[in-house]
Amino acid sequence: MVRIFFYFKRSLKKAFDNLRNERLKNNLLQAIPFWIASLITGFFAVIYAQLFTWGENLMNLIFDWHAWLIFIIAPTGFVLSWWLVKTFAPYAKGSGIPQVMAAVELANPKDHHKIRHLLSLKIIVFKILSSLALVIGGGAVGREGPTIQIAGSVFRKVNEYLPHWWPKISKKNMIMTGAAAGLAAAFNTPLGGIVFAVEELSKTHINYFKTALFTAVIIAGLTSQTLAGSYLYLGYPKTHDVSLMLMFPVIFVSAVAGILGSQLSVVMLKVNKWKKRLKTDRSNIIFLVISALVIASLAYFVNREILGSGKEIMERTLFTADKHEAWYVPLFRMLGPALAFTSGGAGGIFAPALSAGASIGSVLSGVIHLDPQETNVIILAGMVAFLTGITRAPFTSAIIVLEMTDRHSLIFHLMLAGMVSSIISLMVSKHSLYDSLKNSYLEELKDERAPTPIEKAPK
């Protein structure tokens, strides 16, 4: 009897050991694709950031050389950016975040075949080329949204190339994790990437993919840091010794920036809706040329700060004594992205939205005569509020600005700015820019049929 008991005990222990080893092996196999995709994402993010910076520098170099050339490079860049997307990859246009949001919703057995239109290797190539053409032409666009679509495409392709015997991985979790890794690598903001995935993309409980999400964000961030060096997107603005009474200017600026950000979204959606009525390429080209010439004229005759992503505005107002912009600069920083974002080319809205918010904070802080350190707080609050007005993601906006400046003491000011902007924005429009664009992509793909076995076969 004792022998039987010990035999049973040894057998049970062996079975548990085998089970534990099998689980460990399965978990490891499931983690490896996330790690590989994160490394690739970090690499792409750094290369794309360097190309984008080169594009902006080239545009500024041309403008400094002969300013009148902006009347040539702007129409050329706008039309080339639109043509690349229209001809080769229609769903590479715009930011890329709505496409990722749509892909997450399509990640089910019935609709997963549609994701290839939104996330693919072709999307990566023409997203980069189109956005470079647009930024060289003076378009007020950023690289952060495109980086998210690029990362989503990388993660989707890695998942697609797994052998049939590999443990199955949720397509939805893979895409959401890719988006988070892309944002983390683009801004060097790992917490921002995690919050973005939860706030904007996740329709399921975070427990289902939290380990993959955290490791992917860390690996993508470390890869980009290894290649580009450890950096803050903006730096360390001085914000010490601000009084509690600064809450009231923060609320005021956040309300104004939230209204303007949300209203800009409404205007861009209306322009996109109107553009769909332009049935011919000739009509689209005429619209693009007029838009480019408007931007070129304002840059040449008034102020060149309408061009590019606007990062130099944030850096100057936060880190120099020249803290107060002219009253019209916020209008320029809204008009530039509105024309560039609706051009049909590729380019993000994150950086332009942050620069618009910074210019609003800069102007209003001058009106109410704040000191330099208080002005910095108001500028950061304006950045959070305007980005929230566009995205309706107050936590993501606050965490991104917090991480890119390392101003942890301002967490309550920035969260207040996001909350006020979120509430105010709802009075202008109930739906965010990204949600509306996501729904339009889903509507366009509604009747897309699954490929037949013959179509799937290699030719």
CA distance 309 to 292: 15
Per-residue pLDDT of the chain (459 residues; tens, 9 = 90+): 545 544 444 554 554 455 456 666 677 777 788 888 889 998 898 899 999 999 999 999 999 999 999 999 999 999 999 999 999 999 999 888 999 989 988 888 888 888 899 999 999 999 999 999 999 999 999 888 899 999 999 999 998 888 887 778 878 888 888 888 888 887 777 777 777 777 777 655 555 555 566 667 667 766 776 666 655 566 667 667 677 778 899 999 999 999 999 999 999 999 988 888 887 888 899 999 999 999 999 999 998 888 988 888 888 888 888 888 889 999 999 999 999 989 889 988 888 999 999 999 999 998 988 888 888 889 999 999 999 999 888 888 888 888 888 777 778 888 889 999 999 988 888 888 888 888 888 888 887 666 655 445 444
233 found inside a domain? no
CATH assignment at residue 103: 1.10.3080.10
From 228, 252, 274, give the residue that closes a domain.
Answer: 228
* Dihedral sign, Cα of residue 424, residue 425, residue 428, residue 429: negative
Residues 224 and 258 in one domain: no
Residues 204, 98 within the same domain: yes
Query: How would DSSP label each residue in 214-269?
Result: HHHHHHHHHHHHHHH-S--SS-----TT--GGGHHHHHHHHHHHHHHHHHHHHHHH
* 46 and 146 assigned to the same domain: yes
pLDDT at 223: 73
Contact predicate 378/361, CB 8 Å:
yes
3 state DSSP class of 453: helix
Q: Are residues 180 and 36 in the same domain?
A: yes
Q: Is residue 17 part of a domain?
A: no
Report if residue 20 sits inside a domain. no
Among residues 169, 198, 228, the one where a domain terminates is 228
**350 plus 374 within the same structural domain:** yes
Domain containing 394: what range? 244-444
Q: What is the pLDDT of residue 400?
A: 87
Q: Look at the chain and report how many structural domains it folds into.
A: 2
The reported pLDDT for the residue numbered 5 is 41
Same domain? For 83 and 170 the reply is yes
Residues 203 and 283 in one domain: no
Q: Is residue 21 part of a domain?
A: no
337 in a structural domain: yes
Nearest to 259, CA basis, from 441, 424, 117, 74:
424
- The answer as to whether 343 is a domain residue is yes
As beta bridge partners, residue 142 has: 348
Regarding whether 203 and 71 lie in a shared domain, the answer is: yes
Same domain, 140 and 278: no
Residue 132 in any domain: the answer is yes
Q: Are 125 and 378 in contact (CB under 8 A)?
A: no
The verdict on residue 249 lying in a domain is yes
Give the pLDDT score at 9: 44
Identify whether residues 218 and 319 lie together within a single domain.
no
95 and 158 in a single domain? The answer is yes
At residue 139, the 3 state secondary structure works out as coil
From 177, 203, 228, the end of a domain falls on 228
Do 81 and 44 share a structural domain? yes
Give the distance, in angstroms, between the CA of residue 163 and the centroid of all CA atoms in the same chain. 31
